[in-house]
Amino acid sequence: MRIGIGDDCAVLAVEPGATLLATTDLLIEDVHFRRRYARPVDIGWKSLAVNLSDIASMGGRPRWVLVALACPDGTPPGEIEAFYEGFVSLARQHDVALVGGDTSSSPQGWVVNVTALGESTRPILRSTAREGDVIAVTGPLGRSAAGLAVLDRGAPAGVSADALADVTGAHLRPTPRVREGAWLGDAGDVTAMIDLSDGLATDLAHLAEESGVGARVEVARIPVNDSTRRIATALEADPLAWATGGGEDYELLLTCPASVITRLSEGLARAIGSARLHTIGRIVGAGEGVEFVDEGGRPVAIEAGFQHFRRRSARVAR
Amino acid sequence: MRIGIGDDCAVLAVEPGATLLATTDLLIEDVHFRRRYARPVDIGWKSLAVNLSDIASMGGRPRWVLVALACPDGTPPGEIEAFYEGFVSLARQHDVALVGGDTSSSPQGWVVNVTALGESTRPILRSTAREGDVIAVTGPLGRSAAGLAVLDRGAPAGVSADALADVTGAHLRPTPRVREGAWLGDAGDVTAMIDLSDGLATDLAHLAEESGVGARVEVARIPVNDSTRRIATALEADPLAWATGGGEDYELLLTCPASVITRLSEGLARAIGSARLHTIGRIVGAGEGVEFVDEGGRPVAIEAGFQHFRRRSARVAR
């Protein structure tokens, strides 16, 4: 960064040889978040997290961020400060500089827009998966949906406080896979990558469609953690539906040749202690579509079901 | 641009040697615009114009833009298309590529966020004006305020349709000084620059404060066009108050050594037929503050007055 907040624009020096990555997200109260669950500090964190996740999903490094916040007149200043605390605490973890932004008035509800800028020498697209590649994810799925279910319906009896905190934390303050994304970008063997914001079923369908391939996922291999399973049992919900349809897990989904998955997985674990890759399936021919199968290879019907409170948005195609 | 809309991020190639300029603006219905006046096509145009103006004010060239639009459910698709038509028609004039964005749902009113990215080899800041410099603007002031007065109160009798269209057009579809900004950035003699979004009095005070200088403006030299004067007369309003306090004119205000103003002004007019520089005053010592004076050098009280419907925003200073 050369000049930050205070002039008409931020003035930024992009690393020679790097390409610039840019992404923006508009988040509106009662569409993308509910203040009944999400405290200002959570909204600040998550509004940055979803954008850093987009940079990570290209194998890039986030460097700069601009934020615009609008709140109703009379919003206590402490709430606005808490928003920025949440935002900046995540930015600091990843050396991301806040280089622009303003706070203005909203006639109703909170409105947040975040633009994240990053760098990459070799961006990984979602449109370049190849038949025969394996499909892997960076962590357990369905946690965020489990957390939302708890926030929505109340904590079920007989589930530990740790399990409740694990899933509500995943929903309110998701951890974007920033270091993992950058490492995978540098590793060079990843053929395609996307972040899981809309849910495995939807995001994998995007990747397959844009790559002109099909995909086959073994549902038994989809990682679902104990907290999520326990809460699903207590709420009589289907953890597989959460894992495939829930969305907002912000894990990375990647494809790579089968010959390199072990090396990638071990290298990632060495570089980032907590990081793991979970192989969940294979890229197949376009004619086969996107299919979820059981251990016997039989198709499993996946509820795209969990639509409640999903981001309703459509990309502009023009 | 390398990869546009359709992946998690836009992938952009910044010109080697250039620095990146980034700016973002969140515009909310009934805070920053009113749909009673502004048609969707106008909102699209203006939301881009205000961001291009920020790039121009640094002496840069806008290259890419990301937009996020949220509208209430049930908004006619034709209105959303009209928004993008207005947006894209201005983007095309300046070879700016729309590289990302989405449309989502809003519980109330339209919400627009635009992020503009540009390039500059030598950005012009607002904090580098020097004592003795002249102060100049790129065009007439107060037009936008006159336009807003007409839209607010209705067209006064006895004013020509052309004059009405001139000022309402200035308010609803302002012309950002994109070519002028880039030319002035390349010219090399401009010491400081800012765009007039909040009004001459406010924006000049920002420039003076951040440069650690004072400023003296001769009110008789502030350019105010005939349309604005006629409408002020018809509405019994003060055109000087519009020109100094009205805001949203999106002309550029610049400072440069007195020795180069003629050369700059003539060079700009040669390069861009319609462009002119109007000298309105001088940068003075910090102790003298920012003063508006009459032809005899006597201080003139300037109403910061025209606050109605001004953008209410405060820059985040952290």
Give me the pLDDT at residue A3, please.
52
Which residue of B19, B22, B113 is in closest CB contact with A113?
B113
Lowest mean pLDDT, pick from A5-9, B199-203, B279-283:
A5-9
Statement: residue A5 has pLDDT above 80? no
Task: Give, as one character, the DSSP assignment of residue A241.
Answer: H
At B58-78, the pLDDT tens digits run: 999 999 999 999 999 999 999
* Ramachandran region, residue B310 (left: φ > 0; alpha: ψ -120 to 50; beta: rest): beta
At B219 the three-state DSSP class reads helix
Of B32, B100, B103, the CB nearest to A313: B103
Task: Let me know if B17 is exposed, middle or buried by CB neighbors in 10 A (0-12, 13-18, 19+).
Answer: exposed
Query: What number of CA atoms fall less than 13 Å from residue A26's CA on the CB side?
Result: 29
Q: Residue B42: is its pLDDT beyond 60?
A: yes
Asked whether the predicted pLDDT for residue A318 surpasses 70, the reply is no
Which residues, in sequence order, are CB contacts of B306 under 8 Å at separation 6+? Answer: B145, B199, B241, B242, B245, B246, B247
Contacts with B28 from chain A: Cβ below 8 Å: 70, 104-107, 111
Query: Which of these ranges, A299-313, B107-121, B146-160, has the smallest mean pLDDT?
Result: A299-313
Contact status, residue A279 vs residue A199, Cβ threshold 8 Å: no
Give the amino acid at B151: L
pLDDT (0 to 100) of residue A317:
28
Q: Where are the beta strands (DSSP E) in B187-307?
A: 192-195, 214-218, 252-256, 278-284, 290-293
| Contacts A127 to B, Cβ<8 Å | 6-7
Q: Answer for the pair A255, A129: CB distance below 8 angstroms, yes or no.
A: yes
CATH 3.30.1330.10 domain residues, chain A:
19-120
Nearest to B316 among A31, A101, A316 (CB): A101
Instruction: Look up residue B141 and give its DSSP letter.
Output: S
pLDDT score of B314 more than 70: no
Shortest distance, CA B237 to any CA of chain A (angstroms)? 28
Choose among A66, A123, A317: nearest Cβ to B22.
A66
User: Which chain B residues have a beta carbon less than 8 Å from that of A195?
Assistant: 8
CB distance A10–B22 less than 8 Å?
yes
Cβ of B5 within 8 Å of Cβ of A317? The answer is: yes
Q: So what's the pLDDT on residue B4? A: 56
> Given phi > 0 = left and psi -120 to 50 = alpha, else beta, which region is B49?
alpha
Spatial CA neighbour of B115 closest among B59, B171, B172, B47: B47
CATH fold label, A134-293: Phosphoribosyl-aminoimidazole Synthetase; Chain A, domain 2 (3.90.650)
Which residues in chain A are closer than 8 Å to B68, comparing Cβ atoms?
Answer: 24-26, 113
Give the number of other CB atoms < 10 A from CB of residue B105: 18
Give the residue among A153, A158, A165, A169 at the shortest CA–CA distance from A230.
A158
**Nearest CA of chain B to the CA of A28: how many Å?**
7
Query: DSSP for A6-29?
Result: TBSSEEE-PPTTPEEEEEEEEEEB
* A6 pLDDT above the threshold of 90: no
Q: For A21, name the nearest residue in chain B, comparing CA atoms only.
A: B11
Percent of chain B exceeding pLDDT 70 equals 93
- Specify the amino acid at residue B140: P
Grouping H, G, I as helix, E, B as strand and the rest as coil, residue B182 is helix
Residue A4 has pLDDT above 70, yes or no: no
Greatest CA separation found in chain A?
62
DSSP annotation of A123: P
Residue A16: closest C-alpha in chain B = B16
Complex ipTM? 0.90
Predicted local distance difference test score (pLDDT) of residue B275? 86
Rounded Cα distance between B209 and B161, Å, is 41
pTM of the entire predicted model? 0.92
Residue (of B297, B127, B273, B276) closest to B212 by Cα position: B127
pLDDT at A171 over 80: yes
Q: How confident is the model over A203-217, as a mean pLDDT?
A: 97
Residue A7 confidence class, pLDDT cut points 50, 70, 90: confident
Distance (Å) from the alpha carbon of A104 to chain B's nearest alpha carbon: 4
Q: pLDDT by residue (tens digit) across A67-96?
A: 999 999 999 999 999 999 999 999 999 999
Mean pLDDT of chain B: 92
Which tens digits make up the pLDDT trace of A108-162?
A: 999 999 999 999 999 999 999 999 999 999 999 999 999 999 999 999 999 999 9
CATH of region A19-120: 3.30.1330.10
Contact: A315, B2; criterion CB under 8 Å: no
- What's the average model confidence in pLDDT over B29-39? 94
Find out whether A126 and B7 touch, Cβ atoms under 8 Å. yes
Which ranges in chain A are annotated with CATH 3.90.650.10? Answer: 134-293
Q: Strand pairing of B290-293 and B10-12?
A: unpaired
